[in-house]
Chains A and B, each alone.
Chain A
């Protein structure tokens, strides 16, 4: 069953076309690595899928709901963790979970229980009355991750979720994502860290210039390009090429 169905998705900012007709279907229970160069339209796609942007052309269905017509139904069922998102830092994490849980219409007892379990799992430690503005970047990222998972969403959109996390936390988050897919959840994962995407993704979608340049398992895509690694594959498919070895930016001075 397709959990995401996109037909001819187009999006422009003024005269600048960001998405130029994307067609995509994603089955449930997978980790989808969504990669592409800067400005390719990854975050825009995710915002549209998460029901945050209704100014687009084409048909987009998430979990059987048209995101333009039923954004609330979509938001009830998905988790969205944007890149470098700000949070209300004068609150304590518990107060922030109370807000997010409330907006998700989740009973407080459940919110708190799930938050504590996730905090234990991600090894997020703080005192009861400690505010988020005293946290390190990695601790804030953990709060953000936890708040996006509180309502046990069926589909989770993650935009650079490992930013700011230390090595141990990265391992924990990767394990958590695997466990979530084992429970039937779908992860839509956008990142620039190719090693991680290559390792954890069941399927990789490469976006370039607003169109899908590759779509399949790493083995399937690599069979076409024979690049050996996702990094090389990415470079080949997005026209990055290999930099000249004798490049000197101070030449001719």
Chain B
């Protein structure tokens, strides 16, 4: 696959040369990067490289399944070009989200700067090699997403439609790539280096939220029959989103009977791809210099005066108060403070955690308000929905808790092995309590207050059972998902906490369903709540024992 891609890149050598880049250097850099991608890093304390191919293929398999779902659009929407356009809208969201949250970091990667910049390599060579590296990943995802539609169109519409779909897919990748990455390049040029990482980090979090919410909007459409007659391409609506321009391009190359608007949308798609590429290259001037300044941003130089304004740490009244309330002044508090500090300051933790925390409220809100939005029913919150909201809090703890095992700085966890760490349970206790304090407590106050407001005090036993269950399963999750804090590499851990996550999801789901089923029986919920809280307190006592 890599060789094929390098060959394809080689075909465009005259093009790279025309833009002032060195095609030979581009090929060498890309070959090295792709080779490194195929080899995973070492886990903390590990001596051998771990195979990650299996997980990579599994990811592609799931993306392929999603691509299969896109074929469904052709049976729902009669107009093929509109179905293609809708499919590409999903492409733009999906690959765009992936680029923003995962791959765009490669654009700012400074690890190889000294190796590359000490060689005769100019800005264009560096920036083109970076975007091509990212393109490999986007293309692999695009291939998995598009293959089912490609086959479907080949069988139902003929080979030319399939070929056209493939060509439009290439244009789609170019638009998504340049559209996303140009924004980052502009940021790199305009924003001071010491603020850039923070801005990009928060942008990624917000973008993930926006994309995910957009992703859920189709579920608000209600009856699928309503979109059967949708014609989006070759109409005014077709100008609204790049995915639909691509639908216009598909129509332009597959049919002869089309209006001027389809031609205009096709032209827009080609223009977007062309202009995006040109603008990306134009923004590449000064790229290496900006990356270098990014590398040195925030570092102390010998001649520099130490000021108190730089990246503050240390003081946190909320942390200190919660630590005093919930932990003893031993390893419990050390662990609580340590986890709190890292969670508060590590941007990569926030990038991994915050978007996933946002997904669930979005799904929850859509589930609760769907009927109102689609106009099918009036707004009402039954006890079932209330229970769902109560148990949803479990994810508010478990998702960040899982992320406290992962870090870009995972090698720093050697300190847990090199020291006696004689009370590992206290470390675990402090870890869970820090997550509870930072994520669960604020949400719990909000949710429980709302539930009381809507349902009254009758719901108190339910809250007691759900909250006890949530906290118990949080401790249980940390028991099952072993490992030192922040000790796993991000790349090697994508599925490592999948097993514990599934287990707790299953058990938590069982508890919530059981709660709902047994709710009508007298005394069952209060008794169950007492049992769960006794179990929880017993487990906490075990963790906090003296030796």
Contacts and interface: CB of A to CB of B under 8 A. Distances in A.
A102 to B, nearest CB: 3
A92 B291 CA distance: 26
Contacts of A94: 314
A15 B341 CA distance: 43
B313 A129 contact: yes
A91 B298 CA distance: 14
Contacts of A103: 331, 334, 415-416, 419-421
Contact of A91 (B330, B341, B418): B341
Nearest to B416: A103
A201 B383 CA distance: 75
Classify chain B's interface size: 35 or more
Interface in B328-353: 329-331, 333-335, 337-338, 341-342, 345-346
A125 B306 CA distance: 8
Contacts of B314: 92, 94-95, 128-129
Nearest to A44: B47
The interface centre, meaning the residue of A75, A130, A147 with most chain B CB atoms within 10 A of its CB, is A130
Interface stretch (A115-123, A132-140, A207-215, A227-235): A132-140
A154 interface: no
B102 to A, nearest CB: 21
Interface in B294-320: 298-302, 306-308, 310-315
Interface string B277-307: 0000000000000000000001111100011
B507 interface: no
A34 to B, nearest CB: 17
Interface string A81-110: 010011111111011001111111100100
Contacts of A135: 299-300
Given A82-B414, A98-B334, A105 B345 contact: no
B116 to A, nearest CB: 21
B420 A104 contact: yes
A134 B310 contact: yes
A147 B414 CA distance: 13
Given A130-B310, A131-B345, A134-B298, A105 B420 contact: yes
B313 A130 contact: yes
A87 B412 contact: yes
A87 B415 contact: yes
Interface residues of A, number: 41
A76 interface: yes
Nearest to B426: A102
B411 interface: yes
B375 interface: no
Contact of B415 (A99, A128, A131): A99
Contacts of A136: 299-302
The interface centre, meaning the residue of B313, B411, B416 with most chain A CB atoms within 10 A of its CB, is B313
A38 to B, nearest CB: 17
A72 interface: yes
Interface string B384-422: 000000000000000000000000010110111111111
B320 to A, nearest CB: 12
A147 B416 CA distance: 13
Given A103-B416, A105-B331, A130-B306, A98 B337 contact: yes
A86 B419 CA distance: 15
Contacts of A100: 415, 419
Nearest to B419: A103
A75 B338 CA distance: 21
A73 B335 CA distance: 21
Contacts of B422: 72, 76, 105
A80 interface: yes
Contacts of A80: 418
B342 A90 contact: yes
A89 B418 contact: no
B45 interface: yes
A105 B315 CA distance: 23
B165 interface: no
B486 interface: yes
Contacts of A73: 420
Contacts of A128: 308, 314
B415 to A, nearest CB: 6
A64 B45 CA distance: 26
Given A100-B419, A105-B420, A133 B311 contact: yes
A37 B420 CA distance: 31
Given A90-B313, A103-B421, A52 B45 contact: yes
13 contacts: A72-B420, A73-B420, A76-B422, A87-B412, A90-B345, A100-B415, A125-B306, A127-B307, A130-B311, A131-B310, A131-B312, A134-B299, A136-B302
Given A85-B411, A89-B409, A129-B312, 20 more contacts: A85-B414, A86-B412, A88-B338, A88-B412, A90-B313, A90-B346, A95-B313, A99-B415, A102-B333, A103-B331, A105-B331, A126-B306, A127-B307, A128-B308, A129-B313, A130-B311, A130-B313, A131-B345, A134-B300, A136-B300
Q: Which 3 A-B pairs have the closest CB atoms?
A: A102-B334, A103-B419, A90-B345
